[in-house]
Amino acid sequence: MTLPPQADPPGTDPAADPVRGARVIPEATVARLAVYLRALGELADGGADRVSSEELSSASGVNSAKLRKDLSYIGTYGIRGVGYEVAPLQHELERVLGLDHPQAVALIGVGNLGHALAGYGGFGGRGFPVRALFDVDPDLVGIHINGILVEHARDIPRICSERGVTIGMIATPAQGAQGVCDLLVEAGVRSILNFAPVFLQVPAEVEVRKVDLAVELQVLAFHVARRNPEENDGAVATAGAVSSGRPATGSRIKEGVTAVPRDSGVVSGTNGSAVIPR
């Protein structure tokens, strides 16, 4: 038997998270909140005390209507004709994004990409200090990068637990990524940023964000081809012809439109980024 939908109790917010009691913020909005926080930091460094929605939206690359809607999720509406106070809005965004709690990052894989990440000083300045580095290469284990000793990956559970690591970054080759991911989970790490070109299997309580630079370049290449159809004449075929390896004999492609296979796995994100389905 199908029961009719129940109405929300009086005084409740249908968008509220029943577990945490807080209003659910869409993931795309969360990403933009981080951009707003960065822009506010730059404004604060420049001595600004207040900022209008138009100024903040321009600094963030987001239209002002979307910005106001995003900030409404955290109960911050600003004052008409005055705008937002920079310092209070910074603090509120830091609270919502969890930056009012200490974070500690472990980086696994200090090869070419990992070494560059380990040497980047901007993480600590934004509340994400790197506390541990790991690798399995005997030529790398034992060296120091930015004053941090590179440890062997087998010690991930112990060291991450001792240093209170909250976020793991994986920059290993694909074949080693799942193994170090399992060690991070064993250590109690529940947030992972994955640069390895592979999808990770994790428990439901672990959040994984995947950064695939090759896919991002492919998406950009698609937009280049779409904006320059004359330069790519003959390079674009129908999905059927591409998949079969045969020329698109007799097919007609509308000028300026690039055909994209429906099963390409690339979905356009709200800010132009590629969203890779999990």
**Which pLDDT band, with edges at 50, 70 and 90, does 74 fall under?**
confident
Q: In what order do the strands lie in the sheet with 144-145?
A: 144-145, 148-152, 130-135, 105-108, 167-170, 191-194, 207-210
Mean pLDDT for 39-49 is: 90
pLDDT at 53: 86
The DSSP code sequence of 192-228 is EEE-SSSPPP--TT-EEEE--HHHHHHHHHHHHHHH-
pLDDT at 275: 35
CATH of the domain spanning 105-210, picked from 3.20.20.370, 3.40.630.10, 3.30.420.40, 3.40.50.720: 3.40.50.720
**Which pLDDT band, with edges at 50, 70 and 90, does 273 fall under?**
very low
Give every CB contact of residue 91 below 8 A, 6+ residues apart in sequence.
Answer: 100
Amino acid at 135: D
Mean pLDDT for 191-196 is: 96
Fold match flag (27-96 vs 105-210): no
Of 35-44, 190-199, 241-250, the least confident? 241-250
Total Cβ atoms within 10 A of residue 28: 15
Beta partners for residue 192, in sequence order:
168, 208
What pLDDT digit, counting tens, does each position of 105-128 carry? Answer: 999 999 999 999 999 988 888 889
What pLDDT digit, counting tens, does each position of 233-253 carry? Answer: 555 444 444 444 454 444 333
Helix axes 27-45, 86-96, angle to 10 degrees: 140
Rounded CA Rg of the chain: 23
What percentage of residues in the chain have a pLDDT greater than 70?
A: 73
Instruction: Please indicate, yes or no, whether the overall pTM of this predicted structure exceeds 0.75.
Output: no
Average pLDDT score over the chain: 79
pLDDT at 15: 45
Mean pLDDT for 81-86 is: 85
Per CATH, the number for 27-96 is: 1.10.10.10
* Residue bearing the bigger pLDDT, 79 or 262: 79
Domain-wise residue ranges, the chain: 27-96, 105-210, 215-275
